[in-house]
């Protein structure tokens, strides 16, 4: 594949409603988009990182610099093929979201050139995948109940509540009281709790939750082990799972019985598939997390979620959950599921006019020896 250039854009897409977690409040989604332009093909990837390093060490300005100074040169240092590019980038410590996006954009271009869908390449086995909805922190429990009622009315089969110290028992109790124990309900602490909260967290067993996701910080595996031993609610790890080997260690320690896979967190879809395979071999189900991706990232995540060991609805959601306008045709909920794209690569086409409207800056990188393409800002 003859790559002509690699393009990086910063984009900002307004959210239909603000999204609040224990770590941040967002009114729009600022992120980066990577485009690989090759002779006769092109590939796209969503690079979903925050403006400031809240959930991890990566952030927009730093990620832009890592692409310019480290990762794009690594991609151009040999054959521009996804597996080879991933191998070269593995020699660079850190920057998993940036590595994931660059790998995915190259892989998308390759698959479009060959006519194969991403789902088929990864080993997907489904035509559609069940999806849930993640509900941010609200000002009141009554407001939260109204939001949940609306999402259930839209047909979402699973609800996830963001929680934090001081916003946990009351909102969970309100949702359970309104919708009953039959609701598939899970909660996510985003690492906001500490060992002193162990009693509170085990007390959440009375709400019969599907799972308790990442209550302690990413590095506190032993805290999760202690919780998993005491709690009846299954513990799921998210930020703690950075690779297939990290997943194996966490499972063998007994820190979790469910794993959330986010390709941007683990360095790419090739590593995400390896995590899936490790968890499947250890009889631990997985599900696909989300980071408010545009339709480009949503399409890739749906393809990943079509693999056989994805045993729970993912945080992928229909386009309308987050965006009134997106970069591609919207994904629509049907009987609690989203269709798996079947076209080549990620299976969606980017609307260039909409992309230009949401672009705040752009830079183009050319291979060594090829005349540079003028960059625009």
Tell me the two tokens of residue 66.
Answer: 């890592």
Question: Could you tell me where the beta strands, DSSP code E, fall in the chain?
Answer: 3-20, 25-38, 41-47, 128-130, 133-135, 158-162, 184-188, 212-213, 235-237, 258-261, 286-288, 337-339, 359-365
Q: Are residues 316 and 226 in the same domain?
A: yes
What mean pLDDT value characterizes the chain? Answer: 94
Residue 318 within any structural domain of the chain? yes
Number of domains within the chain? 2
Residue 102 within any structural domain of the chain? yes
Residue 374 within any structural domain of the chain? no
pLDDT at res. 16: 84
Q: Are residues 71 and 130 in the same domain?
A: no
Residue ranges of the chain whose pLDDT lies below 50:
374-377
> If we measure between CA atoms, which residue out of 118, 29, 48 comes closest to residue 321?
29
CATH code of the domain containing 131: 3.20.20.120
Note if 162 is an active site residue.
yes
Q: Are residues 135 and 240 in the same domain?
A: yes
Rounded distance between C-alpha atoms, residue 271 and residue 263, angstroms: 7
Rounded distance between C-alpha atoms, residue 250 and residue 244, angstroms: 10
Rounded distance between C-alpha atoms, residue 33 and residue 150, angstroms: 31
Residue 370 within any structural domain of the chain? no
Between the alpha carbon of residue 25 and those of residues 52, 110, 124, 209, 294, the distances in Å are 12, 37, 34, 25, 18
pLDDT at res. 48: 84
Query: Which position among 262, 273, 276, 321 bears the catalytic label?
Result: 262
Please calculate the CA angle 75-79-84 and round it to the nearest 5 degrees: 70
Q: Are residues 31 and 134 in the same domain?
A: no
Between the alpha carbon of residue 103 and those of residues 94, 108, 159, the distances in Å are 14, 9, 31
- The values of phi and psi at residue 75, to 5°, are -65, -40
- What tens digit of pLDDT does each residue of 145-164 get? 999 999 999 999 999 999 99
Residue 371 within any structural domain of the chain? no
pLDDT at res. 184: 98
Q: Are residues 329 and 226 in the same domain?
A: yes
Q: Are residues 51 and 145 in the same domain?
A: no
Q: Are residues 84 and 228 in the same domain?
A: no
CATH code of the domain containing 63: 3.30.390.10
Between the alpha carbon of residue 81 and those of residues 32, 107, 112, 247, 323, the distances in Å are 21, 7, 13, 27, 32
Q: Are residues 238 and 201 in the same domain?
A: yes
Rounded distance between C-alpha atoms, residue 117 and residue 121, angstroms: 6
Rounded distance between C-alpha atoms, residue 262 and residue 304, angstroms: 10
> Which DSSP string corresponds to 244-283?
HHHHHHHHHHTS-SEEEE-HHHHTSHHHHHHHHHHHHHTT
Between the alpha carbon of residue 364 and those of residues 51, 64, 65, 95, the distances in Å are 21, 12, 13, 20
Q: Are residues 161 and 238 in the same domain?
A: yes
- Enclosing domain of residue 206: 119-339
Residue 274 within any structural domain of the chain? yes
pLDDT at res. 376: 46
Q: Are residues 288 and 156 in the same domain?
A: yes
Residues in the chain, how many? Answer: 377
Residue 104 within any structural domain of the chain? yes
Query: Which position among 9, 20, 162, 276 bears the catalytic label?
Result: 162
Residue 83 within any structural domain of the chain? yes
Q: Are residues 129 and 236 in the same domain?
A: yes
Q: Are residues 42 and 131 in the same domain?
A: no
Report yes or no: 60 and 50 within 8 Å, Cβ to Cβ.
yes
Report yes or no: 56 and 265 within 8 Å, Cβ to Cβ.
yes
């Amino acid at each position: 594949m003859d790559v002509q250039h690699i393009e990086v854009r910063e984009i900002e897409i307004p959210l239909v409603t603000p999204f609040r977690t224990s770590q941040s409040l967002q009114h729009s989604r600022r992120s980066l988009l990577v485009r690989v332009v090759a002779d006769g093909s092109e590939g796209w990837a969503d690079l979903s990182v925050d403006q400031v390093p809240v959930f991890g060490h990566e952030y927009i300005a730093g990620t832009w610099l890592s692409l310019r100074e480290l990762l794009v040169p690594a991609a151009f240092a040999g054959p521009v093929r996804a597996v080879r590019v991933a191998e070269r980038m593995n020699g660079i410590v850190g920057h998993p979201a940036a590595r994931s996006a660059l790998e995915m954009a190259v892989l998308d271009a390759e698959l479009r050139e060959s006519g194969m869908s991403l789902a088929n390449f990864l080993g997907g086995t489904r035509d559609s995948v069940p999806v849930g909805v993640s509900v941010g922190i609200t000002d009141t429990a009554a407001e939260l109940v109204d939001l949940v009622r609306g999402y259930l009315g839209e047909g979402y089969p699973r609800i996830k509540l963001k929680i934090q110290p001081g916003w946990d028992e009351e909102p969970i109790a309100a949702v359970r009281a309104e919708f009953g124990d039959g609701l598939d309900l899970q909660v996510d602490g985003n690492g906001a709790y500490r060992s002193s909260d162990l009693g509170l967290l085990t007390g959440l067993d009375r709400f019969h939750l599907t799972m308790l996701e990442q209550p302690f910080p990413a590095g506190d595996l032993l805290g999760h082990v202690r919780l998993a031993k005491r709690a009846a609610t299954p513990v799921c790890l998210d930020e703690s799972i950075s690779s297939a080997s990290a997943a194996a260690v966490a499972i063998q320690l007994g820190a979790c019985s469910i794993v959330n896979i986010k390709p941007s967190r683990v360095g790419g879809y090739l590593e995400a598939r390896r995590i899936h395979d490790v968890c499947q071999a250890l009889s631990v189900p997985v599900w696909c997390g989300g980071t408010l991706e545009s339709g480009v990232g949503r399409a890739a995540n749906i393809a990943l979620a079509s693999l056989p060991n994805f045993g729970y609805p993912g945080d992928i959601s229909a386009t309308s959950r987050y965006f009134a306008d997106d970069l591609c045709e919207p994904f629509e909920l049907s009987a609690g599921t989203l269709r798996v794209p079947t076209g080549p690569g990620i299976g969606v086409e980017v609307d260039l006019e909409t992309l230009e409207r949401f672009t705040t800056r752009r830079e183009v990188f050319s291979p060594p020896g090829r005349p540079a393409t003028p960059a625009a800002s």
